[in-house]
């Protein structure tokens, strides 16, 4: 049963975010956007994990979490400070290479030679098993008050399906899965699909809730404006998203953003996008996706609404560049904000 205090209503929707953070910039922007929504109490980031089997990818995720947590409230007692969430990381050796995005954030130093961005993940034991982490996040939620955003290969999610009782748990807890992968109704090969074709096939065939896909065509039509990096992120002399963005490609450039589209639809399914008719998404051996219309199908894909394009990009910028929200200590009873509920179980640490 989810933990809840007397007088507390249904909390904002909980988001499980799984990606290959560090390979590109779209995932980092999408995660920043989630922190922006969390600051406005429009969503809760309840689980963060990466399929990139690289300790520095987990450290990058940890650095973002600490940056967006902001400083502790003035006069806060340590016991009431929000603990750093565990970061799940795959350990299968795939996509283990370092990248310019990771280096730009993790290796940035102050004039005194200290890391600019706080980070605490230094060894494998500092990360969590992503399958247990995700399963535990589901367990702690109210029924149908959880969403999953997949912005990388499906490797971690299909392993979650293999845990005993988890398929039934997902049916009760998760409203839908938003996937940033593929091209629709059909198109070119996709990196997130091609990296683990077998996992992608299983995910679309076996995931027990509706799936909504944000394809490459949506990402290309609604890119994140590079001009925003110098303008809207300038409130911080050092900003990890701005540093990562500049490192990914030579400036100036606009970044295709299917993961941001997936996050925006997950948090606000109305008012930004159109949806395709229902059908089934299939995966081909070369990493392409193929959509087959069917009235009984549980899959749909996002369709750009030209009338909402400016609104979508404005929301991308506003949420991704939002300042961290300092959260005061929270207490029972409704007079002050509530204490964050404890985890259902502690995910096992890697050895």
Q: What is the pLDDT of residues 30-67, one digit of tens each?
A: 999 999 999 999 999 999 999 999 999 999 999 999 99
3-class SS string, the chain = CCCCCCCCCCCCCEEEEEECCCCCCHHHHHHHHHHHHHHCCCCEEEEEEECCCCHHHHHHHHHHHHHHHCCCCCCCCHHHCCCCCCEEECCCCCCCCCCHHHHHHHCCECCCCCECCCCCCCCHHHCECHHHHHHHHHHCCCCCCEEEEEECCCHHHHHHHCCCCHHHHHHHHEEEEEECCCCCCECCCCHHHHCCHHHHHHHHHHCCCCEEECCHHHHHHCCECCHHHHHHCCCCCCCHHHHHHHHHCCCCCCECCHHHHHHHHHHCCCCCEEECCCEEEEECCCCCEEEEECCCCCEEEEEECHHHHHHHHHHHHHHHCCCCCCCCCCCCCCCCCCCCCCCCCCCCECC
Instruction: Return the exposure string of 197-207: e unless at least 16 CB atoms fall within 10 Å of the residue's CB, then b.
Output: bebbbbbbeeb
Residue 73 has what pLDDT?
Answer: 55
Q: Is the pLDDT of residue 204 over 60?
A: yes
- pLDDT band at residue 74 using 50, 70 and 90 as cut-offs: low
In the numeric block, which tokens belong to residue 296?
């009984």
Query: Exposed, middle or buried, 220 (CB in 10 Å: 0-12/13-18/19+)?
Result: middle
pLDDT tens digits, one per residue of 104-154: 999 999 999 999 999 899 999 999 999 999 999 999 999 999 999 999 999
Q: What is the distance between the alpha carbons of residues 221 and 85, in angstroms, rounded to a whole number? A: 34
Residue 187 has what pLDDT?
Answer: 86
Residue 332 has what pLDDT?
Answer: 36
Residue that is written with structure tokens 């809840």 in the block:
4
- pLDDT band at residue 82 using 50, 70 and 90 as cut-offs: low
Report the range of poorest mean pLDDT among 65-74, 237-246, 257-266. Answer: 65-74
Q: Is the pLDDT of residue 7 over 70?
A: no
pTM (predicted TM-score): 0.89
């Amino acid at each position: 049963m989810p933990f809840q205090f007397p007088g507390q209503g249904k909390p904002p929707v909980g988001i499980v975010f799984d990606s290959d953070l560090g390979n590109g910039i779209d995932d980092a922007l999408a995660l920043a956007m989630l922190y922006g929504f969390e600051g406005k109490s429009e969503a809760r980031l309840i689980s963060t994990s990466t399929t990139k089997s690289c300790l520095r990818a987990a450290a990058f995720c940890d650095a973002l979490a600490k940056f967006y947590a902001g400083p502790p409230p003035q006069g806060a007692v340590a016991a009431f400070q929000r603990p750093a969430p565990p970061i799940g990381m795959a350990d299968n050796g795939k996509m283990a290479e370092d990248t310019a995005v990771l280096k730009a954030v993790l290796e940035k130093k102050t004039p005194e030679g200290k890391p600019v961005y706080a980070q605490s993940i230094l060894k494998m034991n500092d990360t969590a098993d992503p399958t247990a982490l995700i399963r535990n996040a589901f367990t702690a939620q109210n029924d149908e008050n959880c969403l999953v955003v997949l912005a990388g290969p499906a490797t971690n999610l299909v392993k979650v399906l293999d845990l005993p009782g988890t398929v039934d748990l997902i049916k009760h807890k998760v409203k839908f899965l938003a996937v940033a992968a593929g091209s629709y109704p059909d198109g070119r090969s996709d990196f997130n699909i091609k990296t683990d074709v077998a996992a992608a096939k299983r995910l679309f065939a076996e995931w027990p809730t509706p799936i909504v896909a944000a394809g490459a065509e949506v990402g290309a039509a609604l890119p994140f404006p590079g001009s925003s990096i110098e303008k809207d992120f300038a409130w911080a002399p050092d900003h990890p998203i701005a540093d990562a963005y500049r490192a990914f490609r030579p400036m100036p450039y606009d970044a295709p953003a299917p993961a941001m589209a997936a996050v925006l639809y997950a948090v606000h399914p109305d008012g930004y996008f159109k949806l395709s008719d229902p059908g089934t998404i299939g995966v081909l051996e070369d990493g392409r996706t193929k959509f087959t219309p069917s009235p009984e199908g549980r899959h749909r894909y996002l369709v750009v609404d030209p009338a909402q394009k400016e609104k979508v990009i404005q929301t991308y910028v506003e949420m991704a560049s939002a300042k961290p929200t300092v959260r005061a200590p929270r207490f029972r009873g409704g007079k002050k904000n509530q204490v964050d509920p404890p985890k259902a179980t502690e995910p096992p640490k890697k050895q």
